[in-house]
Amino acid sequence: MNVHPKIVAAITAAVALYMQAHQQVVQEGAPPEVKRETPPAPAVTFSPWTLSGRQSMMDMRRMLQMRLVR
């Protein structure tokens, strides 16, 4: 296996730089966490169609319970 001294020097320098950066991070402490903004809650819209449908279902149930439908 043919090993070039320039390649070994480049790898050694890269590893040394990585270890130095890691030591700086450890000494400074953990980086602050990034706080993400929560998206706004969807607005509840008023729909007379849904309200009317629910109201008619409740009326029909009440009539069935009172046995007025027969």
Q: What is the pTM of this model?
A: 0.40
Two tokens at 7? Answer: 């390649």
Q: What integer pLDDT is reported at residue 69 of this predicted model?
A: 65
Two tokens at 13? Answer: 């320098």
Tens digit of pLDDT at every position of the chain (70 positions): 788 999 999 999 999 999 999 998 888 776 667 778 888 888 877 777 777 888 888 888 888 888 876 6
